[in-house]
Amino acid sequence: MKCDLCPREAATLIRYSSAHLCAEHFKSYFEKRAKREIRRQIDVSPGSLVAVAVSGGKDSMVTLRILHSVFGMRRDVGLCAICIDEGIDGYRPPSLDVARGYCEEIGVPMRVRSFSELGVDMDRIAPVSGDSSPCSYCGVLRRRLMNDEARRIGASFLATGHNLDDMAQSILMNFARGDAERLARLGPHSRAQPGLVPRFHPLRMIPEKESLLYAILSETPFWDGECPYYRDALRNQYRRAVDELEDGSPGTRFGILSSFDAIRPLLPSGGRELRMCACGEPTLGSRCKSCEMLDSLRERIRGP
Protein backbone atom coordinates (compact mmCIF):
# COMPACT_ATOMS: atom_id res chain seq x y z
CA MET A 1 0.00 0.00 0.00
CA LYS A 2 1.33 3.44 -0.98
CA CYS A 3 1.31 6.62 1.07
CA ASP A 4 -1.65 8.88 0.19
CA LEU A 5 0.71 11.85 -0.14
CA CYS A 6 3.81 10.47 -1.92
CA PRO A 7 5.02 7.37 -3.78
CA ARG A 8 6.66 5.81 -0.70
CA GLU A 9 5.32 2.69 1.00
CA ALA A 10 2.81 3.45 3.74
CA ALA A 11 4.05 2.77 7.27
CA THR A 12 0.62 2.99 8.84
CA LEU A 13 -3.09 3.24 8.31
CA ILE A 14 -4.75 5.90 10.45
CA ARG A 15 -7.93 3.97 11.07
CA TYR A 16 -10.24 6.76 12.19
CA SER A 17 -9.45 8.83 9.09
CA SER A 18 -8.58 5.95 6.70
CA ALA A 19 -5.33 7.70 5.71
CA HIS A 20 -2.29 5.69 4.58
CA LEU A 21 0.93 7.46 5.45
CA CYS A 22 4.62 6.74 4.93
CA ALA A 23 7.02 7.17 7.85
CA GLU A 24 7.95 10.76 6.89
CA HIS A 25 4.40 11.94 6.36
CA PHE A 26 3.24 10.19 9.52
CA LYS A 27 5.92 11.95 11.56
CA SER A 28 5.03 15.38 10.21
CA TYR A 29 1.29 14.69 10.67
CA PHE A 30 2.01 13.70 14.28
CA GLU A 31 4.21 16.72 14.99
CA LYS A 32 1.70 19.11 13.47
CA ARG A 33 -1.04 17.91 15.81
CA ALA A 34 1.15 17.93 18.92
CA LYS A 35 2.44 21.44 18.16
CA ARG A 36 -1.08 22.69 17.49
CA GLU A 37 -2.08 21.40 20.95
CA ILE A 38 0.86 23.18 22.56
CA ARG A 39 -0.19 26.46 20.95
CA ARG A 40 -3.78 25.87 21.95
CA GLN A 41 -3.05 24.99 25.56
CA ILE A 42 -0.30 27.36 26.67
CA ASP A 43 0.75 30.90 26.04
CA VAL A 44 4.50 31.05 26.43
CA SER A 45 6.05 34.45 26.96
CA PRO A 46 9.74 35.43 27.06
CA GLY A 47 11.29 34.27 30.31
CA SER A 48 8.94 31.27 30.67
CA LEU A 49 10.27 27.98 31.92
CA VAL A 50 8.48 24.87 30.68
CA ALA A 51 8.87 21.76 32.83
CA VAL A 52 8.23 18.28 31.42
CA ALA A 53 7.26 15.30 33.56
CA VAL A 54 9.49 12.52 32.24
CA SER A 55 9.38 8.87 33.24
CA GLY A 56 11.45 7.38 30.44
CA GLY A 57 8.34 5.78 28.89
CA LYS A 58 7.39 6.43 25.27
CA ASP A 59 4.77 9.13 25.85
CA SER A 60 6.84 11.34 28.10
CA MET A 61 9.93 10.92 25.95
CA VAL A 62 7.98 11.84 22.81
CA THR A 63 6.52 14.84 24.66
CA LEU A 64 10.03 15.92 25.62
CA ARG A 65 11.22 15.51 22.04
CA ILE A 66 8.39 17.62 20.63
CA LEU A 67 8.79 20.34 23.27
CA HIS A 68 12.51 20.42 22.61
CA SER A 69 11.85 20.83 18.90
CA VAL A 70 9.52 23.76 19.67
CA PHE A 71 11.45 25.53 22.44
CA GLY A 72 14.96 24.09 22.26
CA MET A 73 16.27 26.82 19.96
CA ARG A 74 14.62 29.67 21.84
CA ARG A 75 16.93 31.56 24.14
CA ASP A 76 14.07 33.23 25.94
CA VAL A 77 12.24 30.01 26.94
CA GLY A 78 13.72 27.36 29.22
CA LEU A 79 12.97 23.64 29.24
CA CYS A 80 13.58 21.27 32.13
CA ALA A 81 12.74 17.58 32.64
CA ILE A 82 11.49 16.41 36.03
CA CYS A 83 11.60 12.72 36.94
CA ILE A 84 10.15 11.02 39.97
CA ASP A 85 11.78 7.98 41.50
CA GLU A 86 8.97 6.09 43.23
CA GLY A 87 11.28 3.42 44.59
CA ILE A 88 10.33 0.46 42.39
CA ASP A 89 13.26 -1.85 42.16
CA GLY A 90 14.08 -3.15 38.67
CA TYR A 91 11.59 -0.79 37.03
CA ARG A 92 12.36 2.84 37.75
CA PRO A 93 16.20 2.82 37.73
CA PRO A 94 16.52 1.65 34.09
CA SER A 95 13.84 4.06 32.89
CA LEU A 96 15.58 6.95 34.66
CA ASP A 97 18.80 5.96 32.89
CA VAL A 98 17.06 6.18 29.52
CA ALA A 99 15.60 9.58 30.42
CA ARG A 100 18.97 10.84 31.67
CA GLY A 101 20.77 9.68 28.51
CA TYR A 102 18.28 11.45 26.25
CA CYS A 103 18.30 14.66 28.30
CA GLU A 104 22.08 14.73 28.06
CA GLU A 105 21.93 14.09 24.32
CA ILE A 106 19.58 17.00 23.63
CA GLY A 107 21.00 19.27 26.35
CA VAL A 108 17.92 19.55 28.58
CA PRO A 109 18.55 19.70 32.35
CA MET A 110 16.93 16.92 34.33
CA ARG A 111 15.92 16.97 37.99
CA VAL A 112 15.00 13.89 40.00
CA ARG A 113 12.77 13.84 43.08
CA SER A 114 12.24 10.72 45.08
CA PHE A 115 9.50 9.17 47.23
CA SER A 116 12.23 8.48 49.80
CA GLU A 117 12.14 12.23 50.63
CA LEU A 118 8.65 11.55 51.96
CA GLY A 119 9.84 8.57 53.97
CA VAL A 120 8.17 5.97 51.74
CA ASP A 121 8.74 4.00 48.55
CA MET A 122 6.41 1.99 46.34
CA ASP A 123 8.04 -1.33 47.15
CA ARG A 124 7.03 -0.79 50.79
CA ILE A 125 3.67 0.81 50.01
CA ALA A 126 2.45 -1.99 47.71
CA PRO A 127 2.30 -4.73 50.37
CA VAL A 128 0.28 -2.50 52.72
CA SER A 129 -2.05 -0.97 50.15
CA GLY A 130 -4.91 -3.31 51.11
CA ASP A 131 -7.94 -3.14 48.84
CA SER A 132 -6.71 -0.07 47.00
CA SER A 133 -4.44 -0.37 44.02
CA PRO A 134 -0.84 0.68 44.77
CA CYS A 135 -1.15 2.99 41.74
CA SER A 136 -3.67 5.19 43.51
CA TYR A 137 -1.08 6.01 46.19
CA CYS A 138 1.63 6.38 43.62
CA GLY A 139 -0.37 8.85 41.52
CA VAL A 140 -1.10 11.20 44.43
CA LEU A 141 2.46 11.21 45.76
CA ARG A 142 3.96 11.53 42.30
CA ARG A 143 1.77 14.54 41.50
CA ARG A 144 2.80 16.17 44.79
CA LEU A 145 6.53 15.87 44.14
CA MET A 146 6.14 16.82 40.51
CA ASN A 147 4.18 19.96 41.32
CA ASP A 148 6.54 20.82 44.18
CA GLU A 149 9.59 20.58 41.95
CA ALA A 150 7.97 22.49 39.07
CA ARG A 151 7.03 25.24 41.53
CA ARG A 152 10.48 25.23 43.13
CA ILE A 153 12.25 25.81 39.82
CA GLY A 154 9.76 28.52 38.86
CA ALA A 155 8.17 26.67 35.96
CA SER A 156 5.30 28.47 34.27
CA PHE A 157 3.82 25.22 32.91
CA LEU A 158 4.21 21.50 33.42
CA ALA A 159 3.81 19.18 30.43
CA THR A 160 2.81 15.56 30.88
CA GLY A 161 2.76 12.74 28.35
CA HIS A 162 -0.95 11.90 28.67
CA ASN A 163 -2.24 10.65 25.35
CA LEU A 164 -5.77 10.32 23.98
CA ASP A 165 -6.23 6.84 25.50
CA ASP A 166 -5.24 8.13 28.95
CA MET A 167 -7.58 11.10 28.64
CA ALA A 168 -10.58 9.02 27.53
CA GLN A 169 -9.98 6.55 30.38
CA SER A 170 -9.67 9.30 33.00
CA ILE A 171 -12.82 11.03 31.80
CA LEU A 172 -14.89 7.83 31.94
CA MET A 173 -13.40 6.82 35.30
CA ASN A 174 -14.36 10.11 36.91
CA PHE A 175 -17.79 10.04 35.31
CA ALA A 176 -18.39 6.54 36.62
CA ARG A 177 -17.30 7.54 40.12
CA GLY A 178 -19.57 10.56 39.98
CA ASP A 179 -16.54 12.70 40.76
CA ALA A 180 -17.37 15.89 38.92
CA GLU A 181 -14.82 17.97 40.84
CA ARG A 182 -12.02 15.65 39.90
CA LEU A 183 -13.27 15.66 36.35
CA ALA A 184 -13.11 19.45 36.36
CA ARG A 185 -9.52 19.33 37.62
CA LEU A 186 -8.27 17.26 34.68
CA GLY A 187 -5.72 19.15 32.63
CA PRO A 188 -5.04 21.13 30.62
CA HIS A 189 -5.44 23.93 33.14
CA SER A 190 -6.43 27.17 31.58
CA ARG A 191 -6.26 29.32 34.70
CA ALA A 192 -3.38 29.59 37.14
CA GLN A 193 -4.23 28.64 40.74
CA PRO A 194 -1.92 29.57 43.62
CA GLY A 195 0.65 26.86 44.27
CA LEU A 196 -0.41 24.73 41.32
CA VAL A 197 1.76 24.78 38.22
CA PRO A 198 -0.72 24.55 35.32
CA ARG A 199 -0.42 21.24 33.49
CA PHE A 200 -0.75 20.75 29.76
CA HIS A 201 -0.76 17.70 27.53
CA PRO A 202 0.68 17.98 24.02
CA LEU A 203 -0.41 14.40 23.14
CA ARG A 204 -3.97 14.61 24.44
CA MET A 205 -5.45 14.25 20.92
CA ILE A 206 -3.04 11.49 19.88
CA PRO A 207 -3.88 7.79 20.32
CA GLU A 208 -1.36 5.73 22.26
CA LYS A 209 -0.56 3.50 19.27
CA GLU A 210 0.48 6.54 17.27
CA SER A 211 2.68 7.75 20.09
CA LEU A 212 4.45 4.39 20.10
CA LEU A 213 4.83 4.40 16.33
CA TYR A 214 6.20 7.95 16.41
CA ALA A 215 8.70 7.03 19.12
CA ILE A 216 9.94 4.13 16.98
CA LEU A 217 10.03 6.00 13.65
CA SER A 218 11.70 9.07 15.15
CA GLU A 219 14.19 6.87 17.02
CA THR A 220 13.33 8.49 20.32
CA PRO A 221 14.80 6.28 23.04
CA PHE A 222 12.32 4.97 25.60
CA TRP A 223 11.96 2.32 28.26
CA ASP A 224 9.06 -0.04 27.68
CA GLY A 225 9.08 -2.04 30.88
CA GLU A 226 5.77 -2.30 32.70
CA CYS A 227 5.33 -1.21 36.29
CA PRO A 228 4.93 -4.36 38.43
CA TYR A 229 1.99 -2.77 40.27
CA TYR A 230 0.12 -1.59 37.22
CA ARG A 231 -1.90 -4.77 36.69
CA ASP A 232 -3.86 -4.02 39.85
CA ALA A 233 -4.94 -0.61 38.66
CA LEU A 234 -8.62 0.23 38.30
CA ARG A 235 -7.63 2.10 35.18
CA ASN A 236 -7.10 -1.25 33.45
CA GLN A 237 -10.84 -1.93 33.46
CA TYR A 238 -11.46 1.38 31.76
CA ARG A 239 -8.63 0.77 29.34
CA ARG A 240 -10.26 -2.49 28.23
CA ALA A 241 -13.70 -0.91 27.96
CA VAL A 242 -12.49 2.06 25.92
CA ASP A 243 -10.37 -0.18 23.66
CA GLU A 244 -13.37 -2.38 22.97
CA LEU A 245 -15.57 0.60 22.15
CA GLU A 246 -12.87 2.02 19.89
CA ASP A 247 -12.49 -1.32 18.06
CA GLY A 248 -16.21 -1.43 17.34
CA SER A 249 -16.50 2.25 16.44
CA PRO A 250 -13.23 3.96 15.51
CA GLY A 251 -13.22 7.53 16.76
CA THR A 252 -14.87 6.76 20.12
CA ARG A 253 -11.91 8.14 22.11
CA PHE A 254 -12.07 11.43 20.25
CA GLY A 255 -15.80 11.48 20.90
CA ILE A 256 -15.31 11.05 24.64
CA LEU A 257 -12.71 13.80 24.74
CA SER A 258 -14.65 16.27 22.66
CA SER A 259 -17.82 15.70 24.71
CA PHE A 260 -15.76 16.40 27.82
CA ASP A 261 -14.33 19.57 26.31
CA ALA A 262 -17.84 20.72 25.44
CA ILE A 263 -19.25 20.28 28.96
CA ARG A 264 -16.12 21.29 30.83
CA PRO A 265 -17.03 24.94 31.35
CA LEU A 266 -20.19 23.75 33.14
CA LEU A 267 -18.38 21.55 35.65
CA PRO A 268 -18.60 22.57 39.32
CA SER A 269 -15.12 23.21 40.71
CA GLY A 270 -14.55 26.10 38.34
CA GLY A 271 -15.26 28.61 41.09
CA ARG A 272 -13.73 26.96 44.18
CA GLU A 273 -10.44 28.44 45.22
CA LEU A 274 -7.60 26.21 46.37
CA ARG A 275 -6.13 26.63 49.87
CA MET A 276 -2.62 25.86 51.01
CA CYS A 277 -1.74 22.72 53.00
CA ALA A 278 1.04 22.94 55.61
CA CYS A 279 3.29 20.99 53.22
CA GLY A 280 2.97 23.79 50.66
CA GLU A 281 0.69 21.91 48.26
CA PRO A 282 -2.61 23.37 47.13
CA THR A 283 -5.72 21.65 48.50
CA LEU A 284 -9.49 21.99 48.48
CA GLY A 285 -9.79 21.03 52.18
CA SER A 286 -7.49 22.06 55.03
CA ARG A 287 -4.99 19.24 54.44
CA CYS A 288 -3.91 17.86 51.12
CA LYS A 289 -4.60 14.29 50.10
CA SER A 290 -0.92 13.36 49.99
CA CYS A 291 -0.39 14.42 53.63
CA GLU A 292 -3.39 12.37 54.76
CA MET A 293 -2.19 9.43 52.73
CA LEU A 294 1.35 9.67 54.09
CA ASP A 295 0.17 9.60 57.69
CA SER A 296 -1.70 6.38 57.23
CA LEU A 297 0.97 4.81 55.03
CA ARG A 298 3.80 5.52 57.43
CA GLU A 299 1.78 3.96 60.21
CA ARG A 300 1.03 0.85 58.18
CA ILE A 301 4.61 0.52 56.96
CA ARG A 302 5.93 0.76 60.51
CA GLY A 303 3.39 -1.85 61.59
CA PRO A 304 1.62 -2.21 64.95
Name the residues that contact ligand FES, by CB under 6 A.
86, 122, 134-135, 138, 227, 229-230
Minimum Å gap between C-beta 214 and ligand FES is 22
Minimum Å gap between C-beta 233 and ligand FES is 8
Q: Which does 22 bind (CB under 5 to 8 A by kind): Zn ion, ligand FES, none?
A: Zn ion
**CB closer to ligand FES, 25 vs 144:** 144
**Cα-based angle 281, 285, 291 (whole degrees, multiple of 5):** 50
**CB closer to ligand FES, 134 vs 202:** 134
Q: Which does 301 bind (CB under 5 to 8 A by kind): Zn ion, ligand FES, none?
A: none
Residue type, 54: V
- Judge contact between 218 and 210, C-beta under 8 A: no
Calculate helix-pair angle for 235-248, 252-263, nearest 10 degrees.
110
Q: Which does 135 bind (CB under 5 to 8 A by kind): ligand FES, Zn ion, none?
A: ligand FES
d(CA 176, CA 109): 39
Minimum Å gap between C-beta 149 and ligand FES is 17
Minimum Å gap between C-beta 125 and ligand FES is 8
Which spans of this chain sit near Zn ion (rule: CB under 5 A)? 3, 5-6, 8, 22, 25, 277, 279, 281, 288, 291
**CB closer to Zn ion, 100 vs 185:** 185
In order of 14, 64, 144, 221, 304, the CA distances from 79 in angstroms are: 31, 9, 20, 19, 46
In order of 68, 202, 252, 297, the CA distances from 35 in angstroms are: 11, 7, 23, 40
Q: How many Cβ atoms from other residues are within 10 Å of residue 216's Cβ? A: 13
Minimum Å gap between C-beta 242 and ligand FES is 20
- Judge contact between 23 and 257, C-beta under 8 A: no
